[in-house]
Structure 1
Amino acid sequence: MFLKIVKNDFLRNKIVTMTVFVFITLAVILAASAINNIANLIQAMSDLQERAAPADITVMHAGDYDQAEIDQFTEQYHDHIAMQETMILQNIDGSNIHFGQNQTMAGTIQDISFVVQNKKFDFILDLDNEKLDVKEGFVAVPIYFMEQHDLKIGDTITVKSGGDEKEFVISDYARDFEMNSSLTSSKRFVVNQNDYDEMLKMQAGELEYLIEFMLNENGDSAAVQTAYIEAGLPANGPIIEGKIFTMFNAMSDMAVAIVIIFISILLIVIASLCIRLTFLATIDEDIREIGVMKAMGIAKKEIKKVYLNKYRVISVVAGIIGYLISFVAVNLLNGNMRLYISSDLSGSLKYILSFIAPLLVYFMIVMYCKQVLKRIDKISAVEALRSDIMEHGKNRKYSFPLLKNKLFSTNIYMGLRNVLKRFKLYRLLFVIFILCTFILILPLNIYNTMNSPEFSTYMGIGKSDMRIDLRRTDTITEDFIKLEEELKNDDDIEKFALYITSSYPVKNAEGSWDYINIETGDFSVFPLKYLEGRAPEGEGEISLSFANAEKVGLNKKVGDEVTVRVGGEEQTLSVTGIYQDITNGGKTAKAHKSLGVNEEAVLWCIVSMDMAPGVDKRVKMDYYQNTYDSAQVNDIKEYTHQTLGNLIEQMSTVVMGGIAIAIIIAVLITALFLRMLLSKDMSQIAIMRSVGLTSKQISHQYMAGTMMVLVVGIILGVLVSNYLGEFLVSMAMSSMGAAKIEFVHIIWQTGLLCPLALIIAVGLTIFMSCKVAVKDDLSVVLRS
């Protein structure tokens, strides 16, 4: 009997059933796809790490070094260190690398290095994750540049140095565990040993060294780093732990997966609200049938099963279909992963972990249904047979009288009045419009913020028009002084500031010494937004990045002191502020220029500048790029885009998906709600028809009320996505070094275009759904 009742309920409410089914399926598809993506990421990262065997500690060094001293150190700490290898990099300026039709790689923010494959560990792989073995005359190009310049296998690139040049044919794309991500500032081209030696004779580039260590299983990374620094071994560049490379590789795919999981949670909430709406309407319609069943002695538990079994069946079927479709949908998300991490994502882990999504959705839906169905317990057989229990006991107060209406037409006023008097009924639709707007606006806000020049402030850089980076060369100090003098006399430059970043020994929370990157200069010219305190303005002052100030860093607060070693002497600096920075693992610092420059460990020099009004920025950029061979010149927007390119591109896909999902949900829910509302109000509609109102006039009342709910829901949705969205994104980004994200709002998109698209789509749905017509005889409807 119960199966027959459930079947009849399916047939009676086809539209309602299909709408709930679609939402549950969408929620499962998104959740399973995101979990699938995370499972793929875990296995792909594990495979890449196993095959590439990256270093646990990497020391970047430019200048002379003694390999014998490093070998002696390795032997001394063999309890911690399993292997050591030194890779020699030839750093080539992008303007000296030619390809295609007279194109060069000038303007890239990446340091380009030509290297030979390592012998022990830190291997650079091909797209099959096999160790690269490049033949003479060929080169393996990093994936980053393959995408950036659309380079293909068989194309040629030419390295020029003075009057010499060396041509290579592209044989492979290089998948580099340590330098894959656009967040790492260096990229390695792999060549044959003979070609590499020929480039050395050409003196094609400056030499730099990666002094790498692979630790034993129980090796202590912090102990090795401290011992290395205290031994005075070569380290005039940053010391990087392997886990940072892992984080950079996983970041873009993980960020997208988190956003999608969040959207799927919102979909589950919407599906639950939809089920609640359906239950209330169905119980209201079936109130007399419930009374009959109770009068016959059928237990409450059995009556609930009649309604619950339907949604159990829907959840199971939707879960299975969503689970299967997710393996197709995930291909839209893992393109970046297939390219940068692993082309083979056939591991079995995803099938197991992805099944969590339909199971979780099933239990959430069933538990919610049981909660809503507790209403049946309150219905007695007598009351159910006598009257409409859902309306019973409510005090109907006459309010919002028509006579006092001075602003709207009668039909519009009655529609608005209906919403205000029955807000408990409309609040579900109201909440859903807020959630749909949130799904629509939040990914767009994230995308616009990352794609904005203002995002540079989260990279520890003040907002400016243009940025010049001087690479680490033998002439960096001379170039820096020359550039400063030229900028002082350049009337096209409104203001500029010069910053030098060096590596300094700093005493950590345990009392031992670590190396951190400290930038010195005048930070009042292009100020940052500080989470606490202010920029260093005088002698003996320093500000720390959020990650450096945390317990995992130096564990300092504003007002605390930091001990820095400069020129063999210790200086005590007072912490004046804490800022946000997601570069270099988030651990950086800024000090007043009185600290002095650690000449032996200068990493890079940066000049930020603003153009005078009317000056062509592109012309000025070309001038400084051509004048200074060791410089790379970028506007801030281009710099940000090159650094976060992968993440920005993937977020654009999420934005398009969010827009489509939000509009589909809003349209389906609106159609469902109005269908049930009109069915519920059939007697009231018949009364209005009997006193002379036309179907068109009645339709206008429902349209006006629903449009008001939509507009107010959109306004609140925009506000929630702006403020709550900032809070949620800040929580997610805090682990990267940015604890307080402020969205960049493009008003015509988030305040006009997106709300307008939602209003048009839902408005058309309202217009189509509010065509009121009483087909039966009015007397029949009134009697019922």
Structure 2
Amino acid sequence: MFLKIVKNDFLRNKIVSITVFVFITMSVILAASAINNIANLIQSMSALQERAVPADITMMHAGEYDQAEIDQFTEQYRDYIAMQETMVLQNIDGSNIHFGQNQTLAGTIQDISFIVQNQKFDFILDLDNEKLDVKEGFVAVPIYFMEQHDLKIGDTIKLKSGRYEREFVISDYARDFEMNSSLTSSKRFVINQNDYDEMLEMRAGELEYLIEFKLDENGDAAAVQTAYNEAGLPANGPIIEGKIFTLFNAMSDMAVAIVIIFISSLLIVIATLCIRLTFLATIDEDIREIGIMKAMGIPKKDIKKVYLNKYRVISAAAGLIGYLMSFAAVNLLNSNMRLYLSSDFSGSLKYVLSLIAPLLVYFMIVMYCQKILKRIDKISAVEALRRDFTEPGKSRKYSFSLLKNKFISTNIYIGLRDVGKRYKLYRLLFVIFIVCTFIVILPLNIFNTMNSPEFSTYMGIGKSDMRIDLRRTDRITEDFKKLQEELKNDNDVEKFATYITSSYPVQNAEGSWDYLNIETGDFSEFPLKYLEGRAPEREGEISLSFANAGKDGLNKKVGEEVTVRVGGEEQTLSVTGIYQDITNGGKTAKANTSLGVNKEAILWYIVSMDMAPGVDKRMKMDYYQSTYDSAQVNDIKEYTYQTLGNLIEQMSTVVIGGIAIALIIAVLITSLFLRMLLSKDMSQIAIMRSVGLTSKQISHQYMAGTMMVLVVGIILGVLVSNYLGEFLVSTAISYMGAAKIEFVDIIWQTWLLCPLALMIAVGLTIFECCKVAEKDDLSVVLRS
């Protein structure tokens, strides 16, 4: 009997039942996919970390060093340090690496190093997460370059540097836990020991050292870093903790998962509203049948079961199907994870965690249905037979007199008037349209912001037309001076500014000394947006990044002082401003040129410039790239894309998915709402038809009211996305060093294209749903 009742009810309301079923399924698919993606991320990160055994502390150093001193330090702190290994990098400029049809890696923002596999830890892996064992004449290329330049296994790359020239065959993708992410500014190519020794003998590249430490389980990373610095051991480059590498590896996939979870949460909320709409429509249709059942003495509990069992079956079936389909849908989200972290997602964790979604949706829907059905308890059989149950209460007078309308069509006015009279009924649809708009606009704003030249300000870089990076080579200082002279005499250049980044010892909040990358130069030409204060303009001034000024950094505020050691002497600098920067772990600083350059620890030179009006920027970039072999020349948009390319591409997928989801939601909910509304107004519609109104005129009334709700909902949805969205994104990304994100709002997309797509989809839905059938017998309707 139970199945028969469910079957008959399903057949009676096929369209509504199928719509609710599809909607619940979609909610479960999204929620389960997001949870599945997080489970895969946890599993793959754990597996990669276990196989790669990354360093807990990495000191980057260029220049002379004594391994015996490092060994002595390691023995002295054996209680903290489990292993130590020094990797020797041979840095090669991208312009010296050739592939394809006369292509090179010139222009990449990445430092390129050739290495051999480590012996103790920090292993470079293949796509099966096995340690790379590269044969002579072969090379394992980082995933970043394989993907960016569409390189394939079996292709060749040719290395030309000075007297050294050698062709290598690509044998593997190199999965590098420490330098996988595009956010890290270095990439490591793995070659055979014999090839490496030949390169070293021919002095093909500039030498740099990674002095790495693997700590015991109880090892204190901060204590080891402090002791290392105080011992005066070599570290004239950045000092990086292992947790930064973990953060960079997880960031792009975690960011996408967070956005999807947020959308899934909104969908679950909408699912409950969808059920409410359906219940109200069904109860409104069956109110007289409910009264008859009560009059016959059928218990309230059994009456509720008639309605509740249907949604129990639908929720259970939709939950099961959504759960199973989520494992196919998640493949659209984890392609980046499969490439960069792990291709093996065979663990059972995802199956267990993903069950949270269907179970949560099922129990939430059942509990919500039970809450709505309690309304049946409050009405007697006589009342159920005599009045409209879903609209109890006293009648109210409204000041929307038809006689006062002198400006718009009567049918449109009646439709707008109906919204005003029954605003409590329409507010549900209004909220859903706001949420649909939010689902579309928020990911779109994030994508546009990350893909915009303005995003460079969140990377500690002033906006400019072009950026030239000079990395460490034998002639870097000479090239830098030559470049400055040429720019002064180049009429195509409107303005330019030079910056030098060096590593300086800085006194931290505990009084010990850390190393900090400080950029010196004139920051007035290409200014940043400061969260507080201003740029350093005079002698003795410094500005700090948001992360560096926080409690985990130097713990300083504007107006406080920072002690920096330059040339063996201490200088006290006043903090003039705090800016945002998501590079180098978010911990950087900028100082006036009066600070001086730490010549023993220069990391890189940077030149920013704007072109004069009418100058071909691409031709100018090609000229400087070919003139200065050690230069990396990019426009700011390209620089941003190379840094955040993976995240930008994944966010574009989320944007497309968000638009599709929002359109489906809007169409489904509008259909359900109008079905409920037309069912509720059946008698009223019959009266209007009996006095001569056509179906078309009646349809225009409902279309006008619903479209007005849509338009107002879209406007508020865009505003909420712009302002609340900025707050949510800023809160989420603050741990990376950016505390106040300002969205780049592309007007024609957010205020025209996306709203137009919603309006067309909802408009067509309204048109189809509002077709009032003319074949119905009016006498039957009026008698009912």
TM over 0.5: yes
Question: 1:761: Cα distance to partner?
Answer: 1.5
CA deviations over 1:331-382 (Å, ceiling 9, x no partner): 1111111111112111111111111111222222223323333323332333
Alignment of 1:17-36 (within 5 A): 17-36=17-36
Verify: 1:429 aligned to 2:429, yes or no.
yes
SS at match of 2:608: strand
User: Is 702-711 or 218-227 further displaced after alignment?
Assistant: 702-711
- 1:470-485 paired onto structure 2 within 5 Å: 470-485=470-485
TM-score (norm: length of structure 2): 0.98
Query: Aligned partner of 1:629: which letter?
Result: D
1:724 maps to which residue?
A: 724
Worse-superposed segment, 9-18 or 55-64: 9-18
Distance 2:472 2:164 in 1: 22
Is this contact kept in 1: 2:34–2:261, CA < 8 A? yes
* CA distance in 1: counterparts of 2:776 and 2:314, whole angstroms: 32
Q: CA deviation at 1:127?
A: 0.8
Q: How does 1:113-128 map to 2 (within 5 A)?
A: 113-128=113-128
**Aligned residue in 2 for 1:390:** 390
CA contact (8 A) 1:464 1:610 kept: yes
Q: Using the alignment, how far apart are the partners of 1:311 and 1:534 within structure 2?
A: 60
Deviations 1:187-225 (Å, cap 9, x if unpaired)? 011111111111123322111111111111111111111
Q: Is the 8 A contact 1:97 1:105 kept in 2?
A: yes
Contact 2:157 2:170 in 1 (8 A): yes
Q: Write out aligned runs for 1:81-230 (5 A).
A: 81-230=81-230
* Residues 1:620 and 2:617 are matched in the alignment: no
The code of the aligned residue for 1:147 comes to E
Contact 2:91–2:206 under 8 Å retained in 1:
yes
Q: Which moved more, 1:34-43 or 1:160-169?
A: 160-169
Aligned pair 1:326/2:326, yes or no?
A: yes
Q: Which residue of 2 aligns with 1:357?
A: 357
- Deviation of the 1:636 alpha carbon: 0.2
List 4+ stretches of structure 1 deviating above 6 A: none
Equivalent pair of 2:277/2:672 in contact (CA under 8 Å): no
The Cα offsets for residues 297-339 of structure 1, whole Å up to 9 and x where unpaired, read as 5554444333333222222211111111011111111111111
Q: Deviations over 1:557-605 (max 9, x none)?
A: 2222222222222222222221111111111111222221111111111
Q: Please say if residues 15 and 672 of structure 1, whose CA atoms lie closer than 8 Å, have aligned partners that are also in contact.
A: no
Deviations along 1:148-193, whole A, 9 cap, x unmatched?
A: 1111111111101235411111111111111111111000111111
CA distance in 2, matches of 1:391, 1:370: 19
Where do residues 252-651 of structure 1 align in structure 2 (5 Å cutoff)? 252-651=252-651
Q: What is the deviation of 1:711? A: 1.5
Partner Cα distance (1:769, 1:297) in 2: 37
How far 1:42 sits from its partner (Å)? 0.8
Matches of 1:535 and 1:364, distance apart in 2: 53
Q: What is the distance in 2 between the residues matched to 1:389 and 1:666?
A: 27
Equivalent residue letter for 1:415: G
Can you list the C-alpha shifts for 1:706-751, whole angstroms capped at 9, x where unaligned? 1111111111111111111111111111111111111111112121
The 5 Å alignment of 1:632-711 reads: 632-711=632-711
Partners of 1:519 and 1:447 lie apart in 2 by 29
1:256-296 Cα shifts (integer Å, max 9, x gaps):
11111111111111111111112222222232333344444
CA contact 1:23–1:268 (8 Å) conserved in 2: no
Distance 1:315 1:591, change over 3 A: same
AA of the residue aligned to 1:326: S
Match of 1:239 in 2: 239
Deviates most, 451-460 or 508-517: 508-517
Mapped contact 1:161–1:202 kept (Cα < 8 A) = no
Pairwise CA distance, 1:9: 2.8
Structure 1 counterpart of 2:750, one-letter code? T
- The C-alpha deviation readout for 1:491-516, integer Å capped at 9, x for no partner, is 21111111111112222222222212
Measured after TM superposition, the shift of residue 659 of structure 1 is 1.1
Tell me by how many angstroms 1:14 deviates.
2.0
8 A Cα contact 1:493 1:609, kept in partner: yes
Given that 2:284 and 2:679 are in contact with CA atoms closer than 8 Å, whether structure 1 keeps it comes out as no
2:754 is matched with 754
SS state at 1:655 partner: helix
**Paired residue type of 1:657:** G
Does the residue aligned with 2:131 lie in a helix, a strand or coil? coil
- Count of aligned residue pairs for this structure pair: 784
Q: Provide the residue aligned with 1:781 in structure 2.
A: 781
- Mean alpha-carbon deviation: is it higher for 216-225 or for 697-706? 697-706
**Structure 1 CA distance, aligned partners of 2:310 and 2:770?**
28
Instruction: Tell me the SS of whatever aligns to 2:159.
Output: strand
Amino acid across the alignment from 1:197: D
Q: Tell me, what secondary structure is at the counterpart of 1:644?
A: helix
Q: Is contact 2:111-2:186 (8 Å) kept?
A: yes
Distance 1:447 1:353 in 2: 29
Q: Distance in 1 between matches of 2:780 and 2:356?
A: 51
Letter in 1 for 2:777: D
Secondary structure of the residue aligned to 1:578 is strand
The CA distance in 2 between the partners of 1:474 and 1:56, in whole Å, is: 31
The 1:400–1:297 alpha-carbon spacing in structure 2 relative to 1, beyond 3 Å, is same
* 1:58–1:241 Cα contact (<8 Å) kept: yes
The amino acid of 1:29's aligned partner reads I
AA aligned opposite 1:258 = I
Q: Distance in 1 between matches of 2:498 and 2:595?
A: 15
Q: Which amino acid aligns with 2:346?
A: S
Matched with 2:767 is 767
Secondary structure of 1:227's counterpart equals: helix
Which deviates more, 538-547 or 455-464?
Answer: 538-547
TM-score, length of structure 1 as denominator length: 0.98
Q: Which runs of 5+ in 2 are unaligned?
A: none
TM-superposed deviation, 1:402: 1.8
* Unaligned stretches of 5+ residues in structure 1: none
Q: Is the 8 A contact 2:281 2:675 kept in 1?
A: no
Tell me how far 1:5 sits from its aligned partner.
4.2
Would the aligned equivalents of 1:180 and 1:340 in 2 still touch at CA under 8 Å? yes
Is this contact kept in 2: 1:433–1:713, CA < 8 A? yes
Distance 1:559 1:366, change over 3 A: farther
